[in-house]
Amino acid sequence: MNHSGLHGGASVYRAALYLSLGPAAGQGLGRFAYSLIVPAMQADLGWSYAIAGWMNTANAGGYLAGAIAAPLVIRRLGERRAYQIGFVGLVPVLALTALTDSISMLSVLRVMAGVSAGVMFVAGGALLVDMARRRASGGRAGLVLATFYGGVGLGMVISAAVIPPLLAALGTGGWHWAWAVLAAMAAAGALVSVPAAPREADGAREAVSQVAAPLRLFAPLLVAYLLVGAGVIGYLTFVFGWLSSLEGGWPVAMTFWITLGAAAVIVPPFWRRVMACATGGRAFGLLGLVTAVGAGLPLVFTALPGGLASAAMVGGSFFMITTATTAFVGRMPAHFERAGAIRAFTVAFALGQIAGPVLVGAVADAVGGLGVPLQIAVVLVFLGAVLGFAQRDLAS
């Protein structure tokens, strides 16, 4: 396949589409699909909620390490190579996850999957920020970034369409095969995305001298992102299992998950005007409020319509929150280093992801169910949304 057009003047949107397969694999398959598999792993391996939550925390810890290391890798190898290395490293890790029952080994593999995803996410995001700032503007730039981050939803849709029916057919012991299927999906994505990753940003950096942006300038948004990360990831880790336990079982939960991912892919264009016009942390705050309301709906309306409305609201807003933070970085003055700022936001989000699943899992073990801990997760998202509104714009 000849991708030379991408390396010249081809569309930045096409570049975003190719690169979106990275988040699809790293987050959609490597992270969020775990929520589809964890009920089977708990039943087969006798895990508590705390152990199940720990596995997502291990993944988030790896993601944190990858995000911290990403700018160093980018400086040495460039954004394109860093993205490619992260993607290629993810595939064997997912494959090896299918081959062990050991908690310690699974923990190591979850960490490694997180490292790969973190490097890939920061590198791909930094690459597109550079491209979008030069070749798109306003809402168009936001749409380019939303296309990249919307890849997470694509991975969720594909995994949700395959994994629950597979586990229903094979039983709880079929979780090994579920991980093998995820590895095969990630490999297919790598075959398309890795050779097609655009070269432009590696050789076209601005001549202006850049410095690290002081964290105090965007501390409110960093803390807000941490809270939203803790709440939403804690929620997503267990909501599939909680919905599966209600009337309707796994088909209802699967429909919820597919709707969640589909909304992440379809809805971003409708936020385009908000992303273009909202300054500071206003877009983040608005998206966070919609996410909090959506996440709380299944706790009030347990019937399918309420669950689907929740999935549409969360999927259509939560994954745009990452776009809002990256767009905020893109509006920073040119003398601020963008890869470092993206890393700071990724680290904040990862810290939230480390705390969220363990907190929700521990509370679930203590109270003997998921209702109360899921309520806590919703409150965390709401607090993050409110704090986001306090962030002032740095463009001036």
Write down the H helix ranges in 98-174.
103-135, 138-149, 151-170
380 and 266 Cβ atoms separated by less than 8 Å: no
Q: Which two tokens stand for residue 76?
A: 């040495």
Within-domain flag for 83 = yes
SS3 193: helix
- Specify the number of domains making up the chain: 1
User: Nearest-CA neighbor of 23 among 140, 200, 156, 163?
Assistant: 156
Residue 136: its pLDDT value, please? 57
Q: Which two tokens stand for residue 330?
A: 């893109």
Q: Of all helices (H) and strands (E), which one includes residue 60?
A: helix 49-77
Number of helices and strands (H, E) in the chain?
Answer: 18, 0
Q: Which two tokens stand for residue 377?
A: 């997760």
Residue 6: its pLDDT value, please? 42
Within-domain flag for 352 = yes
Within-domain flag for 86 = yes
Neighbours of 273 (CB within 10 A): 12
Within-domain flag for 152 = yes
In the chain (396 residues long), the average pLDDT of successive 10-residue segments reads 42 86 94 91 92 88 89 88 94 97 96 95 84 63 78 92 94 96 97 84 49 77 93 79 70 84 85 76 92 88 78 89 83 70 84 82 78 85 94 75
Residue 2: its pLDDT value, please? 43
CA atoms within 13 A on the CB side of 377: 35
Which range marks the domain in which residue 110 is found?
Answer: 12-388
Q: Which two tokens stand for residue 384?
A: 């993050």
SS3 389: coil
User: CATH code at 194?
Assistant: 1.20.1250.20
Within-domain flag for 395 = no
Residue 7: its pLDDT value, please? 42
Within-domain flag for 370 = yes
Residue 355: its pLDDT value, please? 83
Within-domain flag for 393 = no
Within-domain flag for 396 = no
CB neighbours of 246 closer than 8 A, spacing ≥ 6?
252, 302
- How far apart, in whole angstroms, are the C-alpha atoms of residue 33 and residue 25? 10
